[in-house]
Amino acid sequence: MGKYDYDLITIGAGSGGVRASRLAGKYGAKVAVIEESRYGGTCVMRGCVPKKLLVMGAHFAQHFEDAVGFGWTVQGASHDWGAMIAAKNKELDRLDGIYQRLLRDSHVTTVDGRGVVADPHTVEVNGQRMTAEKILVAVGGWPMIPDFPGKEHVITSNEALDLPQRPKRVVIIGGGYIAVEFAGIFNALGSEVTLIIRSGQVLRGFDQDVRSTLAEELEKTGIKIRRDCRIRSVEKHGAEYSVMFDLGDECMADCVLVATGRTPNTASLGLKEAGVKLNAKGAVTVDAQNRSSVESIFAVGDVTDRINLTPVAINEGRMFAETFFNKNPMTMDYTNIASAVFSQPPVSVVGLSEEEARKSHKVRLFISRFRPMKHTLSGREERTMMKLVVDKATDKVLGCHMVGEDAPEIIQGLAVALKCGATKAQFDATVGIHPTAAEEFVTMRDPVPDKEPEA
Ligand code: NDP
Task: Check whether residue 137 and residue 267 sit in a common domain.
Answer: yes
- pLDDT for res 170: 98
Identify the bridge partners of residue 130 per DSSP, sorted by sequence position.
123
Could you tell me the distance, in angstroms and rounded to a whole number, from the CA of residue 147 to the centre of ligand 1? Answer: 16
Across residues 316-323, what is the average pLDDT?
A: 98
If one counts every other C-beta atom within 10 angstroms of the C-beta of residue 273, the result is 12
Task: For residue 2, name the pLDDT band (cuts at 50, 70, 90).
Answer: confident
pLDDT single digits (tens) 167-180 = 999 999 999 999 99
Domain that holds residue 237: 151-257
Beta strands in 174-306 (DSSP E): 192-196, 224-226, 231-237, 240-245, 250-253, 255-258, 262-264, 297-299
Instruction: State pTM to two decimals.
Output: 0.96
Identify whether residues 26 and 136 lie together within a single domain: yes
Within-domain flag for 198: yes
Ligand 1: centre distance to CA 301 (Å): 17
pLDDT at 450: 81
Domain boundary (257, 272, 292) is at: 257
Residue 311 in any domain: the answer is: yes
Contact, 160 vs 184, CB < 8 A?
A: no
Q: Say whether both 201 and 84 belong to one domain.
A: no
Contact between residue 232 and residue 246 where contact means Cβ atoms under 8 Å apart: yes
Does residue 73 form part of some domain?
Answer: yes
Q: Are residues 13 and 134 in the same domain?
A: yes
pLDDT exceeds 70 at position 182: yes
pLDDT of residue 110: 97
pLDDT, residue 451, reads 74
Number of independent structural domains in the chain:
3
Give 455's pLDDT tier (boundaries 50, 70, 90). Answer: very low
User: Among residues 343, 356, 348, which one has the least CA distance to residue 437?
Assistant: 348
Are 228 and 288 within one domain?
A: no
At 400, give phi and psi (nearest 5°): -125, 130
**Residue 1 in domain:** no
C-alpha 156 – ligand 1 centre gap (Å): 12
| 450 lies in some domain | no
- State the pairing for strand pair 122-125/116-119: antiparallel
138 and 269 in a common domain: yes
pLDDT band for position 452 (50/70/90)? low
Based on the domain organization, do 198 and 122 belong to the same domain? no
The helix (run of H) or strand (run of E) holding residue 366 is strand 363-370
Active-site choice (63, 107, 153, 434): 434
309 found inside a domain: yes
| Same-domain status, 200 and 285 | no
Which of 257, 283, 314 is at the close of a domain?
257
Residue 277 within any structural domain of the chain: yes
Same domain, 302 and 423: no
In the chain, helix, strand, coil percent, each to 5? 35, 25, 40
Which atom of ligand 1 has the smallest separation from the CA of 179? 26
pLDDT in tens, 130-179: 999 999 999 999 999 999 999 999 999 999 999 999 999 999 999 999 99
pLDDT in tens, 243-256: 999 999 999 999 99
Residues in the ligand 1 pocket, defined by CB under 6 Å: 146, 173-179, 181, 197-199, 204, 259-262, 308-309, 339-342
- Do 353 and 420 lie in a common domain? yes
Q: What's the CATH code of the domain at 381?
A: 3.30.390.30
380 has a pLDDT exceeding 50: yes
Shared domain check, 344 and 437: yes
Q: Name the nearest CA neighbour of 428 among 447, 411, 415.
A: 447
The pLDDT > 90 percentage for the chain reads: 98
Mean pLDDT of the chain: 97
**332 found inside a domain:** no
| 414 pLDDT tier (thresholds 50, 70, 90) | very high
Domain CATH code at residue 76 = 3.50.50.60
For residues 250 and 183, membership in a common domain is answered with yes
Rounded average pLDDT over 195-205: 97
Mutate to test the pocket of ligand 1, among 208, 225, 257, 260 (most ligand atoms within 8 A of CB): 260
